[in-house]
Structure 1
Amino acid sequence: MAALLTIAEGKKDKNGDNKTVRYIKECEQMGIRILPPDINKSKDSWTPIRYDEPKDGYIGEIRFGLSSISGFSSKTVENILLGQPYDSVQELIEKTDPSKVDRTKIISLIKAGAFDSIDPNRNKLLREFLKNRNEDYSEIPERTNKSHIIQYERELLGMSISVRSRWETIEDGKENIQFTGHLLRIDPFIAKKTGIEHCRITLQTAEDEIQCMVFNREWMQFKPYAIVGMKVTFKGKKSDDKLLVNYIQIHSE
């Protein structure tokens, strides 16, 4: 699977979905734990770690390679690997070439969790890094919460690895689940076979962008009010990583 993950990097399947994300989910279903990148343990590509005996329900692990972090070139990765090991962000700065491991790359490493084994408070490391550069860090919270980790890892790794959002923990097929958020995208369409109008909606919650399907009956009632940015609560069933909506509540803000 580590080889498949390496081959799949940057590629999409026929549905336009990220192949790496799909393979990661398959690994977890097979009992293989996916680990985020680590500044001292990661290599250039995905690294398999076999267990002699199952641990916590897992039969092995695969660790993210540094080259899988968004925006990382082979030259950047080679320079980082050359200087391993590191005991701090400052040591990374001192031991690497700033033309290859620049400000953006260091911020990406911190956000992706590569320094978690040294200090798991990613926001603290970000604040210290910017402070040492005499840059403003006031907008970065002192503590790192679950939402920050999800946001950082999706931005740089394609999906959240260290923690799971509420949506990701819900089993496929579960009914009567509800989420509150804002309408990010509204995409009405006509079904080819029936000629009936339905709508695909992306709901932005605090943790996720949930793909929702609103079928004709609910859509016709909701359509006159649907505006991007409005706050709503959707209730329905999780199916194939989508929320099939059967109840809609509009919130006034």
Structure 2
Amino acid sequence: MLGWVGIDQPMKMRETSRAVDKKLQVNNIPKKKVEILEPALEELNNRMIANGIPVDIAQKACGDIRPFAGYGFNLSHAACYAFIAFQTGYLKANYPLEYMTALLQVFYTEEDKVIKFVKVSRDMGIEVLPPDINRSEIGFTIDGENAIRFGLGSIKGLGDATLEAILEERKIRKVEVIKKEDMTHVPTELELKIAKQQISEDSNSNFRIEEAEIGGIYTTVEDLINRVPKKNLNKKSLAALCYSGAFDTFTYGTTNTRFDFMAHILSIRGESPDEELAAAISKYSDRLKFEKEREVLGMYVSGHVLSRLAEPTNWEELDDAMHFTTVSLTEAKVIITKRGDEMAFLRCDTLEGEKDLTVFPQVFAKNKEGLVPGMLLKVGVKGSMNWQRNKKDYIVNSLTIPKKINKEIWKRIEENKPSDQGAA
């Protein structure tokens, strides 16, 4: 770092080094604390000049150090990064499908990164498909010439034991089976042992043992339920698979929607739809489908609730100019300011993934009744760089809550309102 100091100036070099150790606090440079670095650089610059180092060299030295409070590497480190960047850039340019599949597979448990990389894939013209009970593996895989398939491991509510049981039963394998007339039974180890003993004792037994292939794709949901052990496939697992789209391959020609198909699954189990499912069936909309899909996958895959409502937004480029778009509210955290006013931090779905929006008291007071999860909001947003957090804050300066597209949520709000106190 101090290579600009002449080799004929050992005393000055030692003095400068002491200044670096004491004032520059080199261990703090990687922590990206500008407030520590700037005063130290000023002190360093003054000490170097005081020790006879030319002003232009002193300024250049400080200039070389300054970027490290942001994001900087030494030469050997930067060379390694450059080499890796070249390799990944080559793969992305020449093998985009394979590259994006691998990237999604590496980060398939990190929801925010999956949302980001799915958007990148689609922007590159690659289709991203929902899970499929017969085609998906645990992670993301290539499906066809230009598509990436979600893995079953991305579905919330499926444990490791369930995933393993589904995939293991799907494998085609040869086993010994007991055949009796037109019936075929896959025996347990104990049953097979007993059957072999009976055949050895009585050659005229009315059953026989043969080798047969079992496994393979699931032909119907009934086939799945019969083949996968019940302990590994409960009602919650079946619902998660259904709402994620993994059973869409079974629904064509049988039911109209995933909610109808879930009712069909319950009927196989001898159960009836609960109140929530019955309401979803009677008041079906694509919005309900997409929201349920997001609930189990962490994002919209087969469609987006905002696709016909929101304007695409380059969030990183937002500045003082107001940008208008539509978002879907997932969470609202209300706090009290020092002045005693209410404001809120909103977690919202956008076409570009989840974003955090800030609503200050004046705007919040006009809309607080409607800030409930699921509500679609029309917002006017400005971007402001937060240097302490090293990220942008998104400030809502304008907010309206449409009545028509949110009518079901508004209806629930009205139904849950307490009756007026003191009414006659």
Q: 1:224 to 1:114 in 2, by over 3 A?
A: closer
Structure 1 position 155, deviation (Å): 1.5
CA distance in 1, matches of 2:268, 2:157: 23
Is the CA contact (8 Å cut-off) linking 1:186 and 1:228 kept in structure 2? no
What letter matches 1:222 in structure 2?
A: V
Could you say what secondary structure the match of 1:117 adopts? helix
Residue by residue over 1:122-179, the C-alpha shift from the partner in whole angstroms, topping out at 9 and shown as x without a partner, is 1111112223333331521326421222222211111010011226852115944456
Alignment pair present for 1:38 and 2:132: yes
State TM-score, norm by structure 1: 0.71
Q: 1:32 to 1:238 in 2, by over 3 A?
A: farther
Q: 1:66 to 1:181 in 2, by over 3 A?
A: closer
Alignment pair present for 1:236 and 2:380: yes
Is the CA contact (8 Å cut-off) linking 1:189 and 1:199 kept in structure 2? no
Q: How does 1:25-174 map to 2 (within 5 A)?
A: 25-49=119-143, 51=145, 60-81=146-167, 82-83=169-170, 84-119=216-251, 121-139=257-275, 140=277, 141-142=280-281, 144-166=284-306, 170-172=311-313
For structure 1, the 5+ residue unaligned runs are 13-17, 52-59, 191-197
CA distance in 2, matches of 1:142, 1:181: 23
Is the CA contact (8 Å cut-off) linking 2:129 and 2:147 kept in structure 1? yes
How many residues align? The count is 228
Is the CA contact (8 Å cut-off) linking 1:200 and 1:211 kept in structure 2? yes
Residue by residue over 1:89-135, the C-alpha shift from the partner in whole angstroms, topping out at 9 and shown as x without a partner, is 11110111111222211111111111112216111111122233333
Flag the structure with larger Rg. Answer: 2
Per the alignment, residue 212 of structure 1 pairs with 357
Q: 1:172 to 1:181 in 2, by over 3 A?
A: closer
Could you say what secondary structure the match of 2:109 adopts? coil
What letter matches 1:246 in structure 2?
A: N
Structure 1 position 248, deviation (Å): 3.7
Q: Which moved more, 1:163-172 or 1:109-118?
A: 163-172
Is the CA contact (8 Å cut-off) linking 1:124 and 1:142 kept in structure 2? yes
Write 1 or 2 for the structure with the bigger share of helix: 2
What letter matches 2:281 in structure 1?
A: E
Higher relative contact order (CA 8 A, sep 6+): 1
Q: 1:235 to 1:225 in 2, by over 3 A?
A: closer
Q: CA RMSD in A?
A: 3.9
CA distance in 2, matches of 1:210, 1:44: 28
Q: Percent identity?
A: 27
